[in-house]
Amino acid sequence: MSAISRNNGFTLLEILIAVVLLGILAGALYGSYFGVVQARERSAAGMESRRELGATLDLIRREVSSAMYISTDKRLRFVVEDRDNFGVPSSTLELTTLAPSDPSRKESGIVVVQYRMAEKDKKRILTRQERDLVFDGPAAVPAFPQMERISAFLVECYDGSKWGKTWDTSINHVLPKQVRVTVQIEEEGRPVEFSVYAAPRISGS
């Protein structure tokens, strides 16, 4: 009976070895599964960041291209301030620009737009505020997050001879010849910069 029992059963050592092997296999599968999940999450976050970045740069390019300035109208302005946060570029941009209007609402088709860096949940974000030049007061519309994955925001203006980090139509009395906007984001722990150029096309005396 003892010989039959030994042939048909498992020893304690065999059971322990099987348990250890199963544990190793389960650990490997667990690690592989969550590695794939994390990779997919990073990929999705990267795609969302690129989509957000592309939409923001395209919007700013269109707004700068349609910027309005007439020296006799003090409501129209184009202002770039050179700011930084511990050495990291954090420009502010305020401009008056044309925008599509809705006939069913009180809209003039001219808006004042402001971009600035802010902090949310201990992370840096780019905010955007838009108000109608005619029908909205200065504080009528709150700023909202335009980009939530951003490290730096730099706006530079070209006067025809050199690039600068500041501009004020109340001082310069004209729009810049060209504007360069650079956004820095992090991809896989490394800073990556993207730039867009725009030339204002609408101005007056």
- CA separation for the pair 63, 98 (Å, rounded): 7
Amino acid residing at 125: I
**Predicted pLDDT at 168:** 98
Residue for token pair 């990779």: 39
What 3-state class would DSSP assign to 204? Answer: coil
Predicted local confidence at residue 130, as pLDDT: 94
What sign does the CA torsion over 119, 75, 203, 110 have?
positive
Separation between Cα atoms, residue 128 and residue 142, nearest integer Å? 9
Q: Helix or strand or coil: residue 81?
A: strand
d(CA 136, CA 152): 30
Quick count: other Cβ atoms within 10 Å of Cβ 111? 24
How would you write the pLDDT of the chain (205 residues) with one tens digit per residue?
444 445 556 677 777 777 777 878 777 676 666 555 455 555 555 577 788 999 999 999 999 999 999 999 999 999 999 999 888 999 999 999 998 877 777 888 999 999 999 999 889 999 999 999 988 876 668 899 999 989 999 999 999 999 999 999 999 999 999 999 999 998 878 899 999 999 998 766 5
- Tell me which DSSP letter residue 122 carries: T
Sign of the Cα torsion 59, 64, 66, 71 reads: positive
Query: What 3-state class would DSSP assign to 13?
Result: helix
In this prediction, residue 4 carries a pLDDT of 46
Which is nearest to 196 in space by CA: 97, 63, 17, 101? 63
State the burial class of residue 136 (Cβ atoms within 10 Å of its Cβ: 0-12, 13-18, 19+): middle
CA–CA dist 71, 179 (Å, integer): 19
* Stated pTM of the model: 0.75
Longest dimension (CA), the chain: 111
- State residue 122's pLDDT score: 87
